[in-house]
Chains A and B, each alone.
Chain A
């Protein structure tokens, strides 16, 4: 059977598109947790993450500027490793002594670190491989997300 032409396909698809999609997780508990804790105390507690986020934005901007404008020869891998190791250290210091939501988060973090090491090794041979760079960035981001989520589960409930 012939395919309908694209314009017909697009119009029909848009007309029948269901705008509603069911999330795979129950998200209310995270929302409830956040809106219940709106006292001034919790606002004070939220100051550090905000400052960290602001610092992260500034570092990311400087890094991007350096990578893209000032020094085109800067190695993407070195820049990314440097940025994430600083971010990770900052978060670990920030949450030091604070109870984590799960017991095995450090094992998960170690596994992600091992994945990052494997990707870094592959990047030694292909330092400009975009797919590897993307994977490395994603693994680093997962590490930061993990540290944040187990210590400050503001939205998602693990």
Chain B
């Protein structure tokens, strides 16, 4: 199983970070331009909904602006940013979607093929990922794409490590079923 570490993009933007920390919005816009596609990709895969992904992406960049002084530059900015982005997106899910899932059992069913088609710009495996039920999808994205360990995912999602592993296997089983059926 391919399992990559969280992406370590080389930093060419430490000067931008310093300027943004002191309130320079142009520098922050430059940082935004460098990372927007990567953050949006993460949000879209976690949320499986374009409108929610757009909202969450904006929320990420607004919150990161306020948290920027907490970034101590001991890690790569991209690593810190994507970790913050995944945490904010998970909180976004809890805020916006949880109660609906409980009332109408969306979690059990996952998304149908037609709804998945509505996520434009997604191809191949991504089209299957957005059909996964919420928890299985989030675990799969964080483990297989973002490279987090199950212990880290369990911590982020507030679940047991065993649950993270079982959700991952559930996701793989569903993906295989859909792949075989296609």
- Tell me which of B58, B104, B126 contacts A130 (CB under 8 A): B104
Cβ-based interface call for B138 (8 A): no
Contact B125 A14 (CB under 8 A): yes
Cβ-based interface call for B124 (8 A): yes
Q: Interface of chain B, helix or strand or loop or mixed?
A: helix
Query: Which residues 53-109 of B have a CB within 8 angstroms of A?
Result: 53-55, 57-59, 61-62, 65-66, 95, 99-100, 102-106, 109
* Total residues of chain A contacting the partner, CB 8 A: 45
Task: Report chain A residues within 8 Å CB of B4.
Answer: 14
Contact B103 A31 (CB under 8 A): no
Task: Report chain A residues within 8 Å CB of B176.
Answer: 6
Contact A13 B54 (CB under 8 A): no
Contact A63 B99 (CB under 8 A): yes
Alpha-carbon separation in the docked complex, A63 to B98 (Å): 13
Cβ-based interface call for B175 (8 A): yes
Task: Report chain A residues within 8 Å CB of B175.
Answer: 6, 10
Task: Report chain B residues within 8 Å CB of A101.
Answer: none
Task: Report chain B residues within 8 Å CB of A34.
Answer: 58, 62
* Total residues of chain B contacting the partner, CB 8 A: 48
Cβ-based interface call for A91 (8 A): no
Contact A23 B104 (CB under 8 A): no
Cβ-based interface call for B116 (8 A): no
A23-B57, A64-B103, A156-B58 in contact; A10/B40 too (CB < 8 A)?
no
Alpha-carbon separation in the docked complex, A35 to B23 (Å): 10
Alpha-carbon separation in the docked complex, A13 to B102 (Å): 32
Q: Interface of chain A, helix or strand or loop or mixed?
A: helix
Query: Which residues 104-162 of B have a CB within 8 angstroms of A?
Result: 104-106, 109, 120-122, 124-126, 144-145
Task: Report chain B residues within 8 Å CB of A14.
Answer: 2, 4, 125, 144-145
Task: Report chain B residues within 8 Å CB of A134.
Answer: 104, 106
Contact B38 A24 (CB under 8 A): no
Minimum C-beta distance from B144 to chain A (A)? 6
Task: Report chain B residues within 8 Å CB of A7.
Answer: 1
Query: Which residues 35-63 of A have a CB within 8 angstroms of B?
Result: 35-36, 38, 53, 57, 60-61, 63
- Tell me which of B44, B62, B102 contacts A35 (CB under 8 A): B62
Against A, the Cβ 8 Å flags (1 = close, 0 = not) of B3-38 are 010010000000000000000010011001000111
Contact B55 A156 (CB under 8 A): yes
New A-B contacts (16) at CB < 8 Å, excluding given A11-B1, A17-B145: A6-B175, A6-B176, A6-B179, A10-B144, A10-B172, A10-B175, A20-B40, A22-B37, A23-B40, A24-B120, A31-B61, A35-B65, A57-B99, A80-B103, A134-B106, A155-B59
User: A residues engaging B (CB < 8 A)?
Assistant: 3, 6-7, 9-11, 13-15, 17-25, 27-28, 30-32, 34-36, 38, 53, 57, 60-61, 63-64, 67-68, 76, 79-80, 130, 133-134, 137, 141, 155-156
